Amino acid sequence: MNALMENVSVLWDRLLALFSSYNITTDTLDIAFVAFLVFSAIKMLKETRGIQIVKGLVIVAVIYAIISLLNMQASTYLFKTILRDFILVLIILFTPEIRHALETMGRSRFAFLNFFGAQQGDALYERKKRAVLEICKACRDMSDKKIGALIIFERNTMLGDIINTGTVVDAKVSRELINALFFPNSALHDGGVVIRDGRVVAAGCILPLTDNNSLSSELGTRHRASLGISEKSDAVAVVVSEETGKISIACGGELERGVSDGILMERLMDYILPDNANKEKKSFFSVLLTNVKEKFKK
């Protein structure tokens, strides 16, 4: 009992020392930043199975705190030995979540970090727009005939690993080509078609399936693959059901089922094409080069 009281007294003294050295400006910013990181991590983990691991870690931390306060030396030594490489254990346990967080950060549009953003020129804009129009027509054709299809639009996250699982096509998007690629019993009809910058880059691609086990049993492999790729990247996937002919769109881990022709067109225009304000968006280096040229002209 005396040992417990001594540990509580030491903890109280440390708290008093901490608050006595409190700097209202920097420490407030520090606390706010840490709170933001913790909140963001919890929000991200709530949507994954990682939250169950967090609950287990909290239980372990509570047990460790109790045995430390009770000065249980053997148990404390055991915990310290087990948790010696705790950081490495965390990295292994949360590898998917860490990767997802880094990908999300990489997709964020900070102007001063946008070194690698390519210029969104008129030609590329028109090519993407034409691709959307042609794919909408092809989806209507396949929907009427109940031909299954899975089309993935690459956006900021590069899908090179997905493209490598299929057959390289590198062709202009057309209604006829999309219909041919998904024609029943054709060599590439079972996989996904990847669209990059308004061109068909690959077909017959294998996509990761979603980990969401709460989906309706009526959703087939194509729908699960569309959700899987939209969860692991910022890609947009369009699915045509082979059973019902209904068209669905997956984006950001959400599946919108049974969309009409008009909604399909509207969604793809919003997702794939930049708005008018961003149509002429240029990268950091493009702007810098333009400014240098202007100065030399003067």
Task: Report the distance separating Cα 76 and Cα 235, nearest Å.
Answer: 48
- What pLDDT is attached to residue 275? 56
Residue type, 162: I
Task: Report the distance separating Cα 22 and Cα 27, nearest Å.
Answer: 6
What DSSP designation does 118 have? P
Name the 3-class secondary structure at 281. coil
Residue (of 19, 11, 16) closest to 65 by Cα position? 11
Ranges under pLDDT 70 in the chain:
1-5, 7-8, 11, 15-24, 27, 44-52, 96-97, 100-120, 274-298
Residue (of 203, 232, 237) closest to 219 by Cα position? 237
Contact 197, 184 (CB under 8 A): no
Digit-coded pLDDT (tens) for 148-158: 999 999 998 88
Q: Find all residues with CB under 8 Å of 281, minimum gap 6, and list them.
A: 117, 119, 120, 274
- What pLDDT is attached to residue 8? 66
Q: Where are the alpha helices (DSSP H) in the chain?
A: 2-20, 26-46, 50-69, 73-82, 86-93, 95-107, 122-145, 160-163, 175-181, 221-232, 261-272, 284-297
Task: Report the distance separating Cα 280 and Cα 128, nearest Å.
Answer: 14
Q: Is 236 exposed, middle or buried (0-12, 13-18, 19+ CB in 10 A)?
A: buried
Mean model confidence pLDDT for the chain? 80
- What pLDDT is attached to residue 145? 95
Contact 120, 280 (CB under 8 A): yes
Digit-coded pLDDT (tens) for 5-38: 676 677 677 766 666 666 667 767 878 888 888 7
Residue (of 141, 146, 148) closest to 174 by Cα position? 141
- What pLDDT is attached to residue 254? 92
- What pLDDT is attached to residue 111? 42
- What pLDDT is attached to residue 49? 56
- What pLDDT is attached to residue 297? 46
Domains and CATH numbers, the chain: 2-108 (no CATH), 122-272 (3.40.1700.10)
Question: Hunting for tokens 């909140």 — which residue is that?
Answer: 39
Structure tokens at 64: 């460790």
Contact 205, 165 (CB under 8 A): yes
